[in-house]
Homo-oligomer: A and B are copies of this chain.
């Protein structure tokens, strides 16, 4: 019913995660009516990103160079390797300013229901990276979801064979969290992993 180029744009916008038919329609009309400049810039940015972004050969995240700046930085501790699921998780870790080691970005997780097994994740690449002789500890910072836990479990079993130290982020009550609003699973975990005060 809508003219073809408009229908095409609405369909194409649906490739964005979380965008259904209604949102796609709203976005298309917004761009065409109120932000043609933004639409032009978006088209250009898509092309630019598709063409110019590589994967860092060491940490596997998006990079303009073959090895990203973080992996090249001499100010990073190369004995620590933190494994995260996505670049977004990496950014979250960086924002804490609590970690000075390096990263490996899985770009996914083991999720049999979606057909993502260990092979699809390319874990050989992670193994080669972790066994470079410099890394001493691998910190598994995958999500605490079923898939994230399974991924961490699988990776830790691979790494333990090789004699590397493997750790996982602590679980417990969030900083500033009120016990009243913490879910019982987290609270149970916080009980089990309680720490001695003034050790």
Contacts and interface: CB of A to CB of B under 8 A. Distances in A.
Nearest to A27: B16
Contacts of A113: none
Contact of A12 (B13, B42, B87): B42
Interface in A29-52: 29-33, 35-36, 38-52
Interface string A112-155: 00000000000000000000000000000000000000000000
Contacts of A23: 18
Contacts of A86: 29, 33
Given A32-B62, A64-B5, A47 B43 contact: yes
A101 to B, nearest CB: 16
A39 B53 CA distance: 13
Contacts of A63: 3
A27 B31 CA distance: 17
Copies in the complex: 2
B30 A42 contact: no
Interface of A: 1-6, 8-9, 11-13, 15-18, 23, 25-33, 35-36, 38-53, 62-64, 68, 86-88, 91, 94, 107-108
Given A6-B49, A43-B43, 17 more contacts: A3-B68, A5-B53, A8-B48, A12-B41, A16-B16, A16-B27, A16-B30, A17-B26, A18-B27, A26-B88, A29-B62, A29-B87, A29-B88, A32-B50, A36-B50, A40-B46, A43-B44
User: Can you list the 3 inter-chain pairs with the closest CB atoms, starting with the nearest?
Assistant: A15-B38, A12-B45, A43-B46
